[in-house]
Each structure stands twice: as C-alpha cells, then as structure tokens.
A and B are shown apart, each in its own frame.
Chain A
C-alpha cells in the first residue's frame, strides 16, 4: 500500500507552521534563519509530493524543488555573510540591536 498524498501534505503543513512559530519567537538572527530553512523545506516537500501524485508525467514540481534547494543555498550563504558582518560591527546578533534600518 502506498502512503496517501494527504499524509505528506499534513506533515509539510505542521513543519511549515513550526517554522512560523520559530520565526515569531526567536530573537537571534541565526535562529531566524533556521526557522526560514524549516519553512522552505516544508514547501519543497509539497512541490515534490504534488508532482509525484498528481502529474508524474511532467517534472515541474521536481525541478521547482531542485531549483528551490539551489536558491536556498545561495540565500543562506549571503545571509550568513551579512550576519557575520553585522556581528563584526555591532558585536551582537540579537534582534533588538538591529534598529538602524528602522528609521
């Protein structure tokens, strides 16, 4: 017996909203980035599952997931470079010190 597609969708939903919860409650730039990765990962699962169960003859979801993984890698590299630079200048990566762009 194969696992129904809805099971995967429910799992991806739970993972996505765990990421949202982390994004609301964490107060540290690297933790925020980890929460973003969780959300991206859940969305990738959705793409792959919809492709495998609904349209296996086209590979749109497959390639969207693959390009999504590549873009996530690029985004993480740039974000971590920014975080390290912020830490070098502000001596902290706590979110309450990141107020220079506010005004």
Chain B
C-alpha cells in the first residue's frame, strides 16, 4: 500500500480524534472535557470533508462546534464549582466500563473486518448544492421534505420546552 496524502491526512485526523476523545472522558475538569470534545467534532468535520461531503462538514462545524459546544460551556460556567469530577469512580465500575467497552469493541471490529462491504462506488464528485436542495425540498421518492418539516417542529418544541424548564419560578 503506497503512502498517499489522503492516508496521511486520515491518520493524522484519527490520531487526533482518538487522543482527544479519550482525554474528554478521562479529564477531571469539565471545561477541559468540553474543549477536547470540540477537537473531536472538528476532526469529524474533517472526515466529512475527506469523503467529499462538504455541506455536511460545514453543518457539523456550524451546529456542533459552533452551537452545542457553546451550550456546554454555558452550562459549565453557570454551574461552576459543582462541575469538577473529583469523586473518583469505584474500582468495580471502572473495571465494568473497561470490560464492556473492550468486549463491544472486539465484537464490532471482528464484524467489520470479516464483512465484505461493496465499497467500490466511491466518487470524488461529492454532491452538488442543487441535488441537495432538490432532495431536501422534494416530495418524490428519496426526497425528504416531510422529515425536514418534522425536524423544524421538533426544534421549535425543544426551544419552548427548554425555556419552560430552565425558567425561574
């Protein structure tokens, strides 16, 4: 297997994502965990760019890295001192976590490496904005206007619900 630029970028991104994801679940301070999560989200956007889904990468950066991380930072700052994870978990729970994730990972990796996916259709064209817009707003087969509208109603309901829940009595 010759070393290509694609493979180099992928290796860099995956190393960054795995280290920062692991740091995000092990660090004891919430602000640091949120910052590490931000790096994982940026790496995911990079992966979307690598499969030539540029619109998806932009959505990932805008919504996840721009919106959700800001929400997390707000929550961490509002809650303040209570967010430090000082009480370490018990040995038993730690062991159970390692055992579950390791066995699950082994099963999933075994299945991935022993399945022949038909993956020869990859093109570097990506999707054009026109195709995307037509698919998102069309009513024919393989079009998604209903899910789009349902999602917008869900977002509205969540907004109202979040205000209702967080409001001071």
**Known pairs A22-B24, A30-B83; A5 contacts B93 (CB<8 A):** no
A15 close to B17 (CB less than 8 A)? yes
Q: Quick one: which of B6, B53, B131 contacts A1, CB cutoff 8 A?
A: B6
**Is B135 in contact with A27, judged by CB distance below 8 angstroms?**
no
From the candidates A2, A6, A66, name the one contacting B56 in the complex (CB within 8 A).
A66
Provide the residues of chain B in CB contact with A21, threshold 8 Å: 25, 97-98, 100-101
Residue on B nearest A92 in the bound complex, by CB: B82
Which A75-103 residues sit within 8 Å CB-CB of chain B? 75-78, 80-85, 87, 91-94, 96
Considering the chains assembled together, what is the distance between the CA atoms of A35 and B24 in angstroms? 8
From residue A45, how far is it (CB to closest CB) to chain B in Å?
6
When the two chains form the complex, which single residue of A8, A34, A56, A87 contacts B34, counting CB atoms closer than 8 Å?
A34
Choose from A65, A77, A84, A92 the contact partner of B158 (Cβ within 8 Å).
A77
* Given known A14-B105, A67-B147, A73-B67, contact A28–B14 (CB-CB < 8 A): no
Interface bracket on B: 35 or more
Beta-carbon contact of B119 and A13 below 8 Å: no
Complex formed: what's the CA distance from A81 to B119 in Å?
A: 42
Interface residues in B63-119 by Cβ distance below 8 A to A read 63-64, 67-68, 71-72, 74-76, 78-79, 82-83, 85, 87, 89, 93-94, 96-98, 100-102, 104-105, 108-109, 112-113, 117-119
CA distance A96 to B90 in the complex (A): 12
Chain A residues near B26 (CB-CB < 8 A)? 22
Which B-chain residue is minimally distant from A55 (CB atoms)?
Answer: B121
Provide the bound-state CA to CA distance between A93 and B78, in Å.
12
A71–B151 CB distance below 8 A: yes
Q: Write 6 A-B pairs (CB below 8 A) sorted by A numbering.
A: A13-B112, A17-B101, A44-B44, A70-B155, A76-B68, A96-B87
Q: Which residues of B contact A (CB under 8 A)?
A: 1-2, 4, 6-7, 10, 14, 17-18, 21-22, 24-26, 30, 33-34, 37, 40-41, 44, 47-48, 50-53, 56, 59-60, 63-64, 67-68, 71-72, 74-76, 78-79, 82-83, 85, 87, 89, 93-94, 96-98, 100-102, 104-105, 108-109, 112-113, 117-119, 121-124, 127, 131-132, 135-136, 142, 144, 147, 151, 154-155, 158-159, 161-163, 165-166
List A residues at the B interface (Cβ < 8 Å). Answer: 1-11, 13-28, 30-31, 33-35, 37-38, 41, 44-45, 48-49, 52-60, 62-63, 65-67, 69-78, 80-85, 87, 91-94, 96
